[in-house]
Amino acid sequence: MTEPPGPPWALLAELTQACPLRCGYCSNPVELTRRSAELTTDQWSDVFRQAGDLGVVHTHLSGGEPLLRRDLPELVAAADGAGLYTQLVTSGLGLGEGRLAALTGAGLRSVQLSVQHADPSTAEHVAGARSFTAKERAARLVREAGLPLGLNAVLHRANLDDLDGLVRLALDWGADRIELANTQYHGWAARNRAALLPTPAQVERARTRVAFWRARLGDALELVWVAPDLVDATAKPCMGGWGAVSLTVAPDGTVLPCPAAGTLPDLDPPRVQDCRLSWIWRESSAFRAFRGEDWMPEPCRGCALRTVDHGGCRCQAHALTGDAARTDPACRHAPERPLVDALVDGAARTPHPPAYAYREGGP
Ligand code: FES
């Protein structure tokens, strides 16, 4: 029997799934939550209070685009009042001077801004929307407000070869950190896997450039590399382990062990409207489903890396094999690894990947 863990460290608060961008790599579900189904200001405020009582220290206010919530300053104030460190995860569209002042006044502590490419027209092609100038301005305003600024770049076939450009952009925009996160093929992104999947040669070149920039920049810019598990043939320690360090509250109040877990057919996730967050974290079947090691099949069960990768990604195992309890096929030892080898080989042999399927409209 797996012991309940200590308190979660982080809460991912998905305030809305509406977004002005149309990125093909979006990992939000194919069917987005309607605006009318989103939690109210009072409901979110209660979620933050419960999270603070549970021991959560950090909340990512995310989406979609959280700036589309008119009550965002009230939500920031509620999270701050509950003792949570608040980080806004944003596209930057809609982050004007007045809005930022209201958010900082409410207790906002830091901002993470998405970027698609260092070249404006390529960036807007990836995002499917005019956005580069707004992002540049948002970055400037965040720095002028004295808040820590992180950039998040989802990496894929169209931008891995310009990793230097992304690092220079982070330096130009005054960022403290850039997260270079290879695409995770969940939700809408799974539809675009053939368009997004990089070649192994691209990944190797990019990895070399990360090492170069880390050696050159030292502490001047934190570079975080989120590895491409499919190409590396190495399972990732997804979410730091199932139900181990963080929880996600979706816009409609569904509570999930990871943002993509809504796709798992038998999970039966609880909702904040029905249950206390503390019970959900400690007792719910959804959070206990893959906690610890009891659920692991072979070869995970006998593998020395099980304490490092925690068995890999459950959502990916389900997406690729139809069974969330299988070994993650990203792993070189997984029985279904040949499925992934075929995808990676296909990308390496394709000189011109297909065009993106963009997201159309908001929910
Ligand atoms: Fe759900 Fe990895 S995304 S476990």
| Band of residue 4 on the pLDDT scale cut at 50, 70, 90 | low
Ligand 1 centroid to 243 CA: how many Å?
10
Mark 26-52 as b/e (b = at least 16 C-beta within 10 Å): bbbbeebbeeeebbeeeebbbbbbbbb
* Residue 1, pLDDT above cutoff 60: no
Per-residue pLDDT at 3: 66
CA 90 to chain centre: 12
Ligand 1 atom nearest to CA at 313: 2
Length of the chain in terms of residues written: 363
Ligand 1 centroid to 119 CA: how many Å?
31
| Band of residue 327 on the pLDDT scale cut at 50, 70, 90 | very high
Per-residue pLDDT at 341: 97
Mutate which of 238, 248, 256, 323 for ligand 1 pocket (most atoms within 8 A of beta carbon): 238
* Residue 98, pLDDT above cutoff 90: yes
Per-residue pLDDT at 331: 96
Cis peptide before 64 (omega within 30 of 0): yes
- Amino acid letter at 74? E
pLDDT in tens, 171-213: 999 999 999 999 999 999 999 999 999 999 999 999 999 999 9
Report the phi/psi class of residue 275: left, alpha or beta, with left for phi > 0 and alpha for psi in -120 to 50: beta
Tell me the C-alpha distance between 159 and 196, whole Å.
10
- In angstroms, the Cα distances linking 358 to 35, 130, 184, 346, 347 are 20, 14, 16, 22, 20
Whole-number percent of the chain with pLDDT over 70: 98
Please give the annotated binding residues for [4Fe-4S] cluster, written as ranges.
19, 23, 26
Ligand 1 centroid to 258 CA: how many Å?
6
Atom 2 of ligand 1, nearest CA residue: 313
pLDDT in tens, 75-96: 999 999 999 999 999 999 999 9
Q: Evaluate: CB of 330 within 6 angstroms of ligand 1.
A: no
Fill in the DSSP letter of residue 57: -
| Band of residue 360 on the pLDDT scale cut at 50, 70, 90 | confident
Question: Domain ranges in the chain?
Answer: 8-362
Cβ contacts of residue 221 below 8 Å, gap of 6+?
167, 170, 171, 175, 176, 177, 178, 213
CATH superfamily for 8-362 is: Aldolase class I (3.20.20.70)
pLDDT in tens, 117-151: 999 999 999 999 999 999 999 999 999 999 999 99
State the helix-helix crossing angle for 337-349 and 314-321, rounded to 10 degrees. Answer: 80
Per-residue pLDDT at 214: 98
Tell me the C-alpha distance between 223 and 60, whole Å.
19
Per-residue pLDDT at 2: 64
Torsion of CA 224, 51, 259, 273, to 10 degrees: -170
Ligand 1 centroid to 105 CA: how many Å?
35
pLDDT in tens, 7-50: 999 999 999 999 999 999 999 999 999 999 999 999 999 999 99
ipTM for the predicted complex comes to 0.94
Q: Evaluate: CB of 324 within 6 angstroms of ligand 1.
A: no
